[in-house]
Amino acid sequence: MTDDTKPVPEARAKPAAKPAVLTGVKGMNDLLPADAHYWEMVDEAVRDWTRGYGYQQIRTPIVESTALFARGIGSATDIVEKEMYSFVDALNGEHLTLRPENTAGVVRSVIEHHLTYEGPRRLWYFGPMFRHERPQRGRYRQFHQIGIEAIGFEGPDIDAEVIAMAQRLWDDLGLDGLQLELNSIGDAGERLAHRAALIDYFEQHLDQLDDDSKRRLHANPMRILDSKNPALQTLIEAAPKPIDHLGTASRAHFEGLQQLLADLGIPYRLNPRLVRGLDYYNRTVFEWTTTMLGAQGTVCGGGRYDPLVEQMGGKSTPACGFAIGVERLIELLREQGEAVASAACSVYVVHQGQAAGRLAFRSAERLRDAGLDVILHCGGGSFKNQFKRADASGATLAVVIGEEEAARDEAAIKWLRSDKNDLTQHNVQQNVALADLPNTVLDALYRSNEEGHGLRS
């Protein structure tokens, strides 16, 4: 055979390219199991806290009409101009937005479902919001807020109540170092007078304004007061203040609020530059701030928004509320070293052998029927490795079923810890008939919680 007729070897197929690893969207973070206990702690605290003030939960959709936020928040705000995630529904051409805040959505729901027909309502929510911002510590593109909305209340007493609620939540969570800042921006006519004074003042110093402030000058001049540009701070300090334009009713409202806060012993600092960033605010505005989170120091912000219900198409209705940034709240819990125990099961079931595995499965279900939190070991492995998993789970005790226990229709109960500070009971063990297992475990856990030690014979 000549070289020209030699068979050509078959070409080897190239291995398929490994798929690229997909990652999450920037600024939209995963909640990992290691952090879940912080969120659970806050969630439980919020439910007890809102119940204590007679507030009822409301849940509104994450997606709302874009027009809702343009009308409710204000078309000249940074949120509407630059930060909203908006899109057009491909099926019907409707303009939709992922909610950047939830007060507008709550008010829309209150109007649509006539929730104030029988009187004022105290409402609360807890959920995700979305803003297209530069991600940084405590400031993300998907973030979560706890909100309080008291709708239909006119006097300064409700302003004082919602502020007192925030103070109580900090106390319930063991947080220190939060400073309450307070101001009044007046009613619509007073805001217009202040707005005109601001425009006149800043036009006289136009050469000192940065580009962002020049853009805001005629659209939303109050936002210049909130500028973080160090070069503008002296100019801003000398600017006309909202409180100088308050009428008799607004001033009396603000003085009434301050008196109630004094009666409650809640300290605050008057901040004449505090205006908040949304168009619907009037009269009282406030923030709770901290120095522990760097630039993102506002943990809670709110105030009155009396014009909003009418602005959204409802009857004129006073309202007041606030929103808490949950990610910032949890950062603060971490910074202050607040001790939060990981969620742990009560019982971990270990087993070895086919018959033991079947009994262990049924026994775990019976223990859950009795109201216990139970982890059943899955995937096999030696008793030594299973006990390592049991110890790491945080369980108080292990239920052990091996071949010998299965043959006798029994289980062994072994203490993993008698309480969080006492690990001396690891070798205490007791055998019990499977029929008696739920009651024995319940009794043992009850006595351990009451007396701080393990099983007694």
- Give the domain CATH number at 406: 3.40.50.800
Residue 269 in any domain: the answer is yes
Q: What is the pLDDT of residue 134?
A: 79
Q: What is the pLDDT of residue 5?
A: 60
Does 178 lie in the same domain as 46?
A: yes
Residue 14 in any domain: the answer is no
Domain end (from 335, 367, 398): 335
- DSSP structure string for 278-331: -TT-EEEEEEEE-STTTT--EEEEEEE-TTHHHHTTS----EEEEEEEHHHHHH
Domain end (from 335, 369, 399): 335
Task: State how many domains the chain has.
Answer: 2
Residue 226 in any domain: the answer is no
Q: What is the pLDDT of residue 8?
A: 61
Which amino acid, residue 439? N
Among candidate residues 277, 194, 247, the one with its CA nearest the CA of residue 202: 194
Does 330 lie in the same domain as 373?
A: no
Q: What is the pLDDT of residue 453?
A: 43
> Per-residue pLDDT for the chain (457 aa), expressed as one digit of tens each?
555 566 666 667 777 788 888 888 888 888 888 888 889 989 999 999 999 999 999 999 999 999 998 887 776 666 777 788 899 999 999 999 999 999 999 999 999 999 998 899 999 999 999 998 877 776 789 999 999 999 999 999 999 999 999 999 999 998 888 999 999 999 888 888 888 888 888 888 888 888 888 888 887 787 787 777 888 888 888 888 888 889 999 999 999 999 999 999 999 999 988 887 677 889 999 999 988 777 668 899 999 999 999 999 999 999 999 999 999 999 888 888 755 555 568 899 999 999 999 999 999 999 999 999 999 999 888 999 989 988 888 888 999 999 988 899 999 999 887 544 343 444 567 899 989 999 999 988 877 665 544 444 3
Residue 447 in any domain: the answer is yes
Does 96 lie in the same domain as 58?
A: yes
Does 308 lie in the same domain as 379?
A: no
CA–CA distance, 61 with 108 (Å, rounded to integer): 11
Residue 264, domain CATH: 3.30.930.10
Domain end (from 288, 304, 335): 335
Does 173 lie in the same domain as 89?
A: yes
Is 130 strand, coil or helix? Answer: strand
Residue 213 in any domain: the answer is no
What does the block give as tokens for 396? Answer: 């108080």
Does 42 lie in the same domain as 112?
A: yes
Does 366 lie in the same domain as 265?
A: no
Among candidate residues 142, 154, 151, 122, the one with its CA nearest the CA of residue 49: 122
**Alpha-carbon distance values, 168 to 50, 145, 173, 226, 246 (Å):** 10, 17, 9, 27, 30
**For residue 43, how far is the Cα from the chain centroid?**
8
Residue 229 in any domain: the answer is no
- DSSP structure string for 370-421: TT--EEE--S---HHHHHHHHHHHT-SEEEEE-HHHHHHTEEEEEES-SBTT
- Helix (H) or strand (E) segment spanning residue 125: strand 121-130
Q: What is the pLDDT of residue 452?
A: 47
Residue 305 in any domain: the answer is yes
Does 259 lie in the same domain as 118?
A: yes
Does 62 lie in the same domain as 142?
A: yes
Does 401 lie in the same domain as 307?
A: no
Q: What is the pLDDT of residue 64?
A: 95
Does 315 lie in the same domain as 377?
A: no
Does 283 lie in the same domain as 388?
A: no
- Give the global pTM: 0.81
Is 199 strand, coil or helix? Answer: helix
Residue 241 in any domain: the answer is no
Q: What residue numbers bound the domain in which 443 lies?
A: 347-451
Q: What is the pLDDT of residue 42?
A: 92
